[in-house]
Structure 1
Amino acid sequence: MQQDIVFSTFLIFAGASILATFALYTRQPVLIAYIALGTLIGPFGVGWIDHPEQLENMSHIGIIFLLFLLGLDMQPSSLIAVIKQASTIGLASSLVFFLAGFSITWLFGFSQMDSIIIGLALMFSSTIIGLKLLPTTVLHHKHMGNLMIGLLLLQDMLAIFTLIFLGVMKGDSEMPVWQPFIALPLLIGVAYLAVRFVLLPLITRFDRYREYLFILAIGWCLSLAEAAQLASLTYEIGAFIAGITLATSPIAQFIAISLKPLRDFFLVMFFFALGAGLDLTMLPSVAVSAITLAVVVLALKPITFRVLLRGFSERTSLAWDVGFRLGQISEFSLLVAFVAVESSLLSERGSLLIQATAIITFVISSYIVVFNYPNPIAVSDKLRRD
């Protein structure tokens, strides 16, 4: 039944509070409660919310704020220091994951095109899961946090080129392949100049007005996110650039603290929309292949990152930590599936396989991190780090 946005929001947050309470009592990650709620009351469950795509559009703002906050917590010099290492590891690991995804889906009888697109979808790890479970006040200032962010940003760029590739295959893409390479340094340069000559003078002049600083930060974040999207990059990359160019500002930590509740509000919607989008009636047709693919992802990604990172003289404990935090597929994988289906390049069965694999790996990867590594939502006081 069709419901208005206020009633839908009521159902989401009232239901989330109940399931999250149950999850905490039973020592489960709260992210699982949000996904389960979407599956339960979404269009393929009891149908109390039958238009999750509207909420999904809103929930994307949470990802934008998440990347903005990450940028605020990282100094530009720290990011540059890991770019070379992240590039080599990111490209090598993506090739391994593509070949594994292609081979497995081909063996399960999927078409060659389905296998190619599913292989492409497996190249990426989740920015949301990886960074939502990364303590902002501890690990972002260490080498591991910088390395993870470098890897995820590289994967974002690969995702952009994957989407361009799908458009070229369909034959309707007007975007030159070289455009993102030109757009990225231009956007960084414009952002740096805007911060130095516009934002910092405004912050210095009106630093007593906290409400104004809050609005200015949100406006800057969303403006650069939109500019990145118009420049054929992504909202996430624009938001990260917005954050990192403000990282040296004296109000960076004030903005970071102020925006965390807003970020969490939209991220709840994201995980709800993820669960609500899973078609349970078609799930049996891909159950075996989805479980197999998920097991391969959950095992192969930590091992691959561990081997590659150890090859660059990283500590074994750090290599496993990064590997398990990136041991799932990505929200970009869902976007690749959506674009491929719209372009008639991917079958509905192939799309469902990507969705099911994403949810399985999101859930199990979250359990692994929450119960074994420092994170903001750990059920153990020893591991809980905000």
Structure 2
Amino acid sequence: MEPSVFQSFFLIFTGAAVVATIALYTRQPLLVAYIALGMIMGPFGLEFITNIELISEISRVGIVFLLFLLGLDMQPKALFSVLKQATHIGLISSAVFACAGYAIGWLFGFSHIENLIIGMAMMFSSTIIGIKLLPTTVLHHKHTGDLMVGLLLLQDFLAIICLMILLSGDLGKVDLATMGKTFLALPLVAFAAWAFVKWGLLKLMQSFDRFHEYIFLVAIGWCMGLAELSESLGLSAEIGAFIAGITLATSPISQYIAISLKPLRDFFLIIFFFSIGARFNLDLLPSVAVSAIAMAAMVLILKPVSYRILLRHHSEQNRLAWDIGFRLGQISEFSLLIAFVAFNASLIGEKASTLIQATAIITFLVSSYIVIFNYPNPIAVSDKLRRD
């Protein structure tokens, strides 16, 4: 019998507490423990939790809050400055990764359409892993954080374009009217959000700032409301949440909101990593094991090297270039969404979808290990590298 939502939460968080304890004693990253728990308890493991669609939908709230908090931590002037530099690097690197993904898919006998979609999925790096493993001090005050945010936001926008193409049901036909609406919607939503915050939201918050519960409630409502509006206009909920955050970033109250929402974000992100493991079909793993290892090796090697070369070309320091390269050395949660949408549209088979999922899990795990054991991050097992 399918467990209730309450029972599902009990299994996820009690299980997460147990595996997290084991992970800390054995000096393993917590993200790895959450994904492994999903594999064990999910429909392809012990089948304790089988309604993964519901769990995945709930977990998406964590991504939305992550982007909202990211916006709260970035000043608008810094965003425009870093996007100017990140655009060139992001476009070139995405093209390189897409071509490499297509080539490896072709070597393993996938069809032309499947290879195009595999290439799409390889273009992006994980916003969740990239930001979650970045110390807050770096995110707030360092050039590394600004540059990473710029690259990830550009990739998020490219991912939206890819998803619009896939949702059209035909890679050869793109609805130009819908795409034009989406491009127009971005500046309109940003301007409307800025105006509403300046002449409405901030005045409300200043009037009732002594009621902390009210500030907390309004912040969540603003985040979720703009996320939903953006999605209805053809953008993504994640981009809407980021706009919601950055329009509040200049307010003195922004850091109070950020601190208040972090526990809520972590709650949903645990569910997100659990859902990644639970979605993975272990029965199909033998059929894609070799191709997934080859694809993951390509990502884990090519992404750090490519970012290092491109960033050094833009006069960034060698250490910073490697740091960003390894932090972005995986594919993205958007890659999983691309695989899901393409499979549902019958553009790729289950084997190609499983290849993308397996590559995502392998790169999530390995890149997390690389960062956690070699670079400053909030969940490092070494006291020397732990930075909150």
Partner of 1:138, secondary structure, is helix
Letter in 1 for 2:167: G
- 8 Å CA contact 1:70–1:136 kept in 2: the answer is no
Distance 2:91 2:218 in 1: 37
> Which residue of 2 is the match for residue 324 of structure 1?
326
- 8 Å CA contact 1:184–1:233 kept in 2: the answer is yes
What is the deviation of 1:309? 0.4
- 8 Å CA contact 2:44–2:280 kept in 1: the answer is yes
- 8 Å CA contact 2:205–2:215 kept in 1: the answer is yes
> Counterparts of 1:116-195 in structure 2 under 5 Å?
116-170=116-170, 176-195=178-197
What is the deviation of 1:173? 5.5
Unaligned runs of 5+ in 1: none
- Structure 1 runs of 4+ off > 4 angstroms? 171-175
Identity of aligned residues (%): 63
Aligned with 1:277 (options 260, 273, 279):
279
- 8 Å CA contact 1:164–1:175 kept in 2: the answer is no
> Which residue of 1 is the match for residue 57 of structure 2?
57
Deviations 1:216-247 (A, max 9, x none): 10000001111110111111111111111101
What is the deviation of 1:142? 1.2
> Which residue of 2 is the match for residue 214 of structure 1?
216
What is the deviation of 1:164? 1.5
Distance 1:43 1:160 in 2: 29
> Which residue of 2 is the match for residue 310 of structure 1?
312
Partner of 1:80, secondary structure, is helix
Distance 1:281 1:229 in 2: 34
Partner of 2:136, secondary structure, is coil
> Which residue of 2 is the match for residue 81 of structure 1?
81
Aligned with 1:301 (options 303, 306, 313):
303
Deviations 1:350-373 (A, max 9, x none): 000000000000000000111111
Distance 1:92 1:267 in 2: 30
What is the deviation of 1:174? 8.4
> Which residue of 2 is the match for residue 234 of structure 1?
236
Deviations 1:271-303 (A, max 9, x none): 000000010011100000000100110000000
- 8 Å CA contact 1:64–1:239 kept in 2: the answer is yes
> Which residue of 2 is the match for residue 225 of structure 1?
227
Distance 2:202 2:56 in 1: 34
How many residues were matched structurally?
386
What is the deviation of 1:175? 5.5
What is the deviation of 1:49? 0.6
Distance 1:85 1:8 in 2: 44
**TM-align CA RMSD:** 1.2
- 8 Å CA contact 2:138–2:144 kept in 1: the answer is no
Letter in 1 for 2:307: F
More deviation, 336-345/173-182: 173-182
- TM-score, length basis structure 2: 0.98
State whether structure 2 residue 47 is matched by structure 1 residue 47. yes
Unaligned runs of 5+ in 2: none
What is the deviation of 1:140? 2.9
What is the deviation of 1:384? 1.2
- 8 Å CA contact 1:125–1:330 kept in 2: the answer is yes
Distance 1:353 1:148 in 2: 27
Distance 1:172 1:186 in 2: 23
- TM-score, length basis structure 1: 0.98
> Which residue of 1 is the match for residue 36 of structure 2?
36
- 8 Å CA contact 2:71–2:243 kept in 1: the answer is yes
Distance 1:173 1:45, change over 3 A: farther
- 8 Å CA contact 2:125–2:331 kept in 1: the answer is yes
Letter in 1 for 2:205: I
Distance 2:25 2:234 in 1: 45
Distance 1:54 1:172, change over 3 A: farther
> Which residue of 1 is the match for residue 4 of structure 2?
4
